[in-house]
Copies of this chain bind each other. A is one copy, B any other.
Amino acid sequence: MAELTTAFGDRLSTAEAMRRQHSSQLTWLESQLPDAVVFPESTDEVAMIARVCNAHLVPMIPFGAGSSFEGHVNAPYGGVSIDLSRMNAILEVNSEDMDCRVQPGVTRLTLNEHLRDTGLFFPIDPGADASLGGMAATRASGTNAVRYGTMRDNVVAVTAVLPNGKIVHTARRARKSSAGYDLTRLLVGSEGTLGIITELVLRLSPIPEAVVGGSCAFPTVRAACDAVIATIQTAIPIARIELLDELSVQAVNRYSGLGLAETPLLLVEFHGTPAGVAEQAQRFGEIVEAYGGGPFAWSEKLEERTELWKARHDAYWACLALRPGARPIPTDVCVPISRLADCVEETKREIAELNLIAPIVGHVGDGNFHVQPLVDMNDPDEIETVKAFIARMVERAISMDGTCSGEHGVGQEKQKYLRHEHGNATLELMRVIKRAVDPQTIMNPGKMLEKDT
């Protein structure tokens, strides 16, 4: 610590408020504070921190914007939180190549603001104004993934500092490569357990010439899911297709002053040429009708679309307001889309039986949905009930050939499900890689692979 204090001066803090702010708040666990928070300003400074921590076996916890859900930034073994928010430069935008090079502390909204005049944008939108380094580390995705993919698909290369302080550049700026192991994809989604991402090359997309969007109500979740499957099979290149259950619609109506029908609802958006989006919207409307939904009301007006998507993005806060004082425990699973209606319906049935307040929203084009139970943390019985409810939901998703997390990651909370999901041999292969890259277990210890009780 003395070494780091000497090097970083007032860019290292041990104040409790600062350490608390650099821990996770949205899990069952009490926040686990790091011993110190350090604010590096370059890859070389991060490498220096890693060399010091490696020499003294001090845990390192990379920190972006702190908007992750599954306990990624907690420090169960103490150590140093490496806050990358000062590494927030947009280093280059290559508009002909449709890519850019950024530092990890740049947030997605800042990047898109910067890109505005280039005709390009970065499509990954997890809701929160997360840092791009954190989004890569957790393999974030969000509402645009059905069309544009996830961070897996939109990170071209990263620079990362390994636990021993060595600096690696995973790939060059070519759009594709067959020159060796895909280290980019190994680090994307590694949740800071293999190294610290200090620079990213991101793929950009052209801002669509025309965008239309709208919403339509369905009698049941199943009807909505069937309409989504038909839409995708018909090759309609839908850009966003989001499901809100009745309770979520109620919540956003109240919170955002909207008058949406309080039934299962799809929010959709189409990107293309003016003629193209009109054709897509018309075809989608026909499909909706065939599945008993609708009418599909859509609009080209920016204000109307913005209002709708702002309401979707505010769903987290809107749902929170359903039960003031309760702690939200946001969690997600993902299943093959053919099983989505089954998985959501069974989950909703349990929510009703258990009398939980747990709204559901879903990135339904990917088979991914979120449940956000609102829990009275002073009621031990309720805590146990909700824990068991989440465990059953996860096991249900895995038994449907799905995954314990579509986009939030493993962190601390989902570790116990990996053995069921992956099996012994696969989990052991992940651990072989972890041990090889981080033999002293100092990179974000206690996360992802450590506990599988």
A residues with a Cβ closer than 8 A to B are 94-99, 119-120, 138-141, 145, 149-150, 152-153, 162, 166-183, 185-186, 188-190, 194, 205-209, 229, 232-235, 237, 272-273, 275-276, 279, 334-338, 366-368, 397-398, 401-410, 414, 417-418, 421-423, 425-430, 432-437, 448-449
- A404 in complex: contacting residue of B179, B185, B272, CB < 8 Å: B179
- The distance in angstroms between the C-alpha atoms of A153 and B208, with both chains bound, is 22
Q: How far is the CA of A207 from the CA of B409 in the complex (A)?
A: 33
**Complex Cα spacing A147 to B407, Å:** 24
Q: Which residues of B contact A429 (CB under 8 A)?
A: 162, 166, 168, 183, 437
Please tell me if the beta carbons of A367 and B179 are within 8 angstroms of each other in the complex: no
In the complex, the 7 A-B pairs of residues with the closest C-beta atoms, listed nearest first: A185-B185, A436-B436, A206-B235, A96-B338, A177-B403, A173-B401, A174-B334
Q: Are A179 and B425 interface neighbours, CB within 8 A?
A: no
Chain B: minimal CB distance from A330 (Å):
13
**Within the oligomer, what is the number of copies of this chain?**
2
Residues of B within 8 A of A207 (CB): 235
- Contact between A138 and B180 (Cβ–Cβ < 8 Å)? no
Most buried by B among A183, A429, A430: A429
6 residue pairs of the A-B complex, CB under 8 angstroms, read A177-B405, A178-B405, A180-B422, A182-B188, A206-B233, A275-B275
| Chain B residue contacts of A433, Cβ below 8 A | 181, 186, 433, 436-437
Cβ of A87 to closest chain B Cβ, rounded Å: 19
A173: chain B residues at CB < 8 Å are 336, 401-402
Alpha-carbon separation in the docked complex, A237 to B366 (Å)? 21
Give the contacting residue for A237; candidates B185, B237, B334; CB below 8 A.
B237
Q: Which of B139, B141, B430 contacts A183 (CB 8 A)?
A: B430
In the complex, A178→B404 CA distance in Å?
8
A407–B178 Cα gap in the complex (Å)?
5
Known: A172-B401, A237-B237. A410 touches B188 (CB 8 A): no
The residue among A174, A188, A338, A407 with the most chain B CB atoms within 10 A of its own CB is A174
A174 to B279 Cα, complex, angstroms: 29
CA distance A426 to B433 in the complex (A): 15
Q: Are B168 and A426 in contact (CB under 8 A)?
A: yes
Contact B178 A410 (CB under 8 A): yes
CA distance A146 to B403 in the complex (A): 29
B181, A406: Cβ atoms closer than 8 Å = no
**A448–B275 touching, CB < 8 Å:** no
Whether the pair B172, A398 counts as a contact (CB closer than 8 A) is yes
**Contact of A338 with B94 at beta-carbon distance under 8 Å, contacts A426-B168, A436-B435 already known:** yes
Chain B nearest Cβ from A364, distance in angstroms:
11
Find chain B residues with CB under 8 A from A337 CB: 96-97, 175
Distance, CA A421 to CA B404, complexed state (A): 37
Q: Which residues of B contact A98 (CB under 8 A)?
A: 232-233
Check if A176 sits within 8 Å of B407, measured CB to CB: yes
Residue in contact with A334 in the complex, picked from B152, B176, B234, CB distance below 8 Å:
B176
Q: Are B279 and A178 in contact (CB under 8 A)?
A: no
A-B contacts besides A209-B235, A235-B272, 11 pairs, CB < 8 Å: A94-B336, A94-B338, A96-B336, A96-B337, A141-B178, A169-B423, A177-B403, A179-B410, A180-B410, A180-B418, A181-B433
Chain B residues lying within 8 Å of A435, measured Cβ to Cβ, are 436
Contact A172 B421 (CB under 8 A): yes
Closest partner residue, chain B, to A338 (CB atom): B96
A95 to B229, CA, bound (A): 10
